[in-house]
Amino acid sequence: MIIDCDCCEMRDIACDDCVVTALLAAPPRGELADDEAGALKALADGGLVPPLRMRRPGTATG
């Protein structure tokens, strides 16, 4: 998973509640392996960190 905050349609809408901001201070671009993204999802599902809010334009939310 490539995290590119410049391309995120949630930029400036949900940055304060995004795990990227919480853990990494919103880097302009980064990459997460599938296992890392899965670990972040598990932490978010457990209420320990906010969820990843990254959305590329035209992608489904979910």
d(C-alpha 33, C-alpha 47), whole Å: 21
Residues 45 and 37: their CA atoms lie apart, in Å, by: 12
CB 54, CB 32: distance < 8 Å = no
pTM (two decimals):
0.48
**Confidence at residue 59, expressed as pLDDT on a 0 to 100 scale:** 62
Q: Which two tokens stand for residue 12?
A: 């400036």
Q: Which residues make Cβ contacts (< 8 Å) with residue 54, sequence separation at least 6? A: 1, 3, 5, 8, 10, 18, 20
Task: Name the residue type at position 31.
Answer: E
What are the pLDDT tens digits along the chain (62 aa)?
677 778 888 888 887 778 877 676 655 566 778 888 888 889 889 988 888 777 667 765 54
